Amino acid sequence: MSASVVILMLVGLAGLHRLEFESSTISEIEINSEINDSIEVANSVTPHPNILIGPSDPCLDIPKSLTTPCFHNLSVVTLRECRGLKDLTWLVFAQNLTHLLVVKSPKVLGLMNVHHQEFIPFEKLDYHGFQELSELMSAYWNPLPFPNLRKTHVEKCPELGKLPLDSQSPNGNYMNIVVGKNWIEELEWEDEATKQHFSSMISYLDRRA
């Protein structure tokens, strides 16, 4: 599909389990939690089975608590070749996300560019992959606990200098980090303890990355 702005309706898509965009020119994904606004936009466009497309209407409001309306059932997000997308801050609304894959989206600069002290994202994330993101500079604002993360895959992200991990991630559990050998040699770790903690968990891609 192709559109400049996609508006995801918290009210209408509460049961959404899986969200995928591929070969898209989307420049922005917005969240709308207002019932009246949802009805107005939904009636003004042709609906898609999983998403609604409407005019740009800035409405992203970072959740203040787990009681804030969110995509409670959304567990898998895959973004491939989203050529205009720059950040994925809207993922704070996917509190039960388990699988995140972002591939060949050259304008993505960061995955989550907000810092909310009362909200820890991705506590249920099991896998995340960043592949061929030429401009990606940061994943998150600081290291996250990732209590359930089992695998992270980073490939051809030359500007990404640091993983969002520290010596307490993922809460002492084992995880597999799949990366390009040339990239990992230039990687900046949070501290020496973090480097030592994850050294035995790294496996290298067969191809140059």
- Of residues 132 and 6, the one with the higher pLDDT is 132
Percent of the chain surpassing pLDDT 70: 70
CB 46 within 8 A of CB 103: no
Tell me if residue 126 falls in helix, strand or coil. Answer: coil
Identify the weakest region by mean pLDDT among 47-56, 70-79, 170-179, 195-204.
47-56
Q: Is 55 exposed, middle or buried (0-12, 13-18, 19+ CB in 10 A)?
A: exposed
CB 83 within 8 A of CB 24: yes
- Read off the pLDDT of residues 84-142 as tens digits, 9 standing for 90 and up: 888 888 888 788 999 999 999 999 988 876 655 566 788 899 999 999 999 999 888 78
Look up the pTM and report it: 0.77
pLDDT given for residue 64 in this prediction:
44
Q: H or E stretch including 206?
A: none
